Amino acid sequence: MRCPVCARPTIARHAPFCSRRCSMKDLAHWVGAAPPFVIEGEPADPLSADADDAETLEGDGST
């Protein structure tokens, strides 16, 4: 399955997207953010966890 935003392979954690960045970009589209909207950061490597995901995986009790 491919990410509908960038066409990279998806990751189960972010399905149907490849990263949090692509999911936020899609959300911005749906809420009507006028282009050019800015999604900070570089596109994440879908095979490596970024800092935000690592904190989430460690658990903060808010899952």
Confidence label for 44 from pLDDT (cuts 50, 70 and 90): low
Of 51 and 32, more confident: 32
Distance (Å, rounded) from C-alpha 4 to C-alpha 45?
16
Reduce the secondary structure of 23-36 to three states and give it as a string: HHHHHHHHCCCCCC
Confidence label for 55 from pLDDT (cuts 50, 70 and 90): very low
Q: Is 55 helix (H, G, I), strand (E, B) or coil?
A: helix
